[in-house]
Amino acid sequence: MVLAADVSDLSGRVLLKAGCVIQPGHLQILATWGVTAVGVTGEGLGGSNPDPEREECRIPAAALREIEAEVVRRFSVVNGDHPLMRRLAAIVKQDLMSNYSLHGDE
């Protein structure tokens, strides 16, 4: 989901700017500052080729941590700084997130 408008705390300080892709960590930050609702655009909802960052927003934080740990485990014996390995790790993470989104915690 993408923010439709800037999100501010009660004193008017901008916490997140319009156009920001909402990440799981943002939800905790917003709750901490007393923000209970935000405006979002429909962009990225229900598409056949989801954006990985937006996909993360639909997966519970605990499941996302498990997915990230699994990717780290799978790539622990290779050079994680190499561009090809980083790209492959991102592809594996996206695949695991897509499988979770389709099948949940089976």
DSSP string covering 28-80: HHHHHTT-----EE-TTTT-SS--HHHHHHTS-HHHHHHHHHHHHHHTTTS-T
Mean pLDDT of the region 85-90: 85
Task: Quote the pLDDT of residue 51.
Answer: 52
Check pLDDT > 90 for residue 70.
yes
Does the predicted model carry a pTM greater than 0.75? no
Tell me the backbone φ, ψ of residue 40, rounded to 5 degrees.
-125, 155
Pair of tokens at residue 41: 């655009």
All structural domains of the chain with their residue ranges? 1-46, 59-106
pLDDT tens for each residue of 32-57: 777 878 888 765 444 334 454 555 55
* Per-residue pLDDT at 73: 93
The mean-pLDDT minimum among 15-19, 26-30, 77-81, 91-95 falls in: 26-30
Q: Which fold has domain 1-46?
A: Molybdopterin biosynthesis moea protein, domain 2 (3.90.105)
